[in-house]
Structure 1
Amino acid sequence: MASLLYVFPHPDDECFGPVPALAQQRRTGHEVHLLTLTRGEATSQRERLGYSKADMAAARYEEMQGVAATLDLSSLTVLEYPDGGLAELNPLVLEDEVTAHIHAHEPDVVVTYPVHGISGHPDHLVAHAVVKRAVCALRRDGATAPRRLAFYTLSPADDADRPPHLTHSPPTLIDCQVPIRDEDLETGREALHCYETYRPVIEEHRPLDTIGDRVSFELFAETHDPPLSSLLDRLPALDDEAGLPSAP
């Protein structure tokens, strides 16, 4: 079986869209690891709840334990870098964290946000840049993992109710679309609702209604037309000299 490492900046990023794919990957026996860079303490939801940042961080960390149990994640690591402050950090520190987790798990596929970050949140943009830089550095140095770098994204909206601040990728950049089965969507909804502190946001934006019937991904340095139906299909070999994927 294969291994995947998802890297996101905040608690709930894994559930606001890609979660049916995680559920499907675990259901079919693959390892799924999740690395979250912050505890999400800066959210305005803490003001509604009357929580300090420390209180909110603790609450969201506990909620993530429920997500990990619901999805049966192979591992969950939640770091404590400042929510909303990743752009102010030395990016080499974050790259070292990502690289260490890649070395620990040797995933076939690493997944993070696309260059536009979907919502445009600065932490999403930093996550994209840091993960891509870490993977490219590993390839330059001849590492054999990961074999693929994927960016979770949205396809052009068929749903007029999608929040207007969300950005999708053009169809020409979408290289993989994972079909959603009802059982995986249900598991994803159960995981999403572990975030009790975010219930008003979940009810307002209905994030799993924005993805349609497939979870979409861009694949770095790959082009697939028609799109693949699994992140693990046609995994590329790595070119020994360039450290980049060779043609599938």
Structure 2
Amino acid sequence: MITFQNVSKTYHDTKHSKVALSDISFHIEKSEIFGIIGESGAGKSTTLKLLNALELPSSGQIILDGTNLRTLSKKQLTDTRKTIGVIFQNINLLKNKTVYDNVALPLKIRGKVSKEDVEAALKFVNMFDHAHKYPRQLSGGEKQRVAIARALVTKPDILICDEPTSALDQHTTFEILEVLKQINQEFQTTIVIVTHELSVAKALCNRVAILEKGNLIDVISVNNTKPKSTSTSYSDWAKEVLEQ
């Protein structure tokens, strides 16, 4: 469904150039839960922007459902983004809008609000009874559920999750991961999760790409068992934890 072919991304300013990604290649299958992990500066955020078609690669190709994103017009790229939902790390709910209005916002932007779709999304994440509350009245886990409903309401083919559990406690993290699994199972949604938490990747993902300083170290299948590791290198440790 999604293929990165020898993708590199370099950022330029007036004095310097920074290589964020260097010649990386991987493929994400339709309906897969795919993880992208790495330490700070590994290239995770850049990969996310490329996946969401917010930026294009400096070289190489990103192919989505057989279409090379570099060949698309601005309008076609905008239309492509409409098939992708995003759950942001900092949640980004509008404080002055109710839960219902926050979830309805993507539909409102498109000029086609469906009360049924909003209510269905809220029911799916068990937040229907909170529809008229404001974000300040919600717990961290409840806010994340609303963010998931907001991403889900447009019925995306791909759901990108940017560190979706980084601010949550262990119990709430488990609940959110279960919601994401349910989305994948019921709607066959392809989920890409960007995280630095190996426990999250291990609990949720089918396969994981390990990035380090802009390079792809490996793409590995995940064994969903309890991790234990003694490795010191982040990439070696991650591979050991995720594969065992």
**Fold match by TM threshold 0.5:** no
TM-score, normalising length: structure 1: 0.31
TM-score, normalising length: structure 2: 0.31
Structure with more strand by fraction: 2
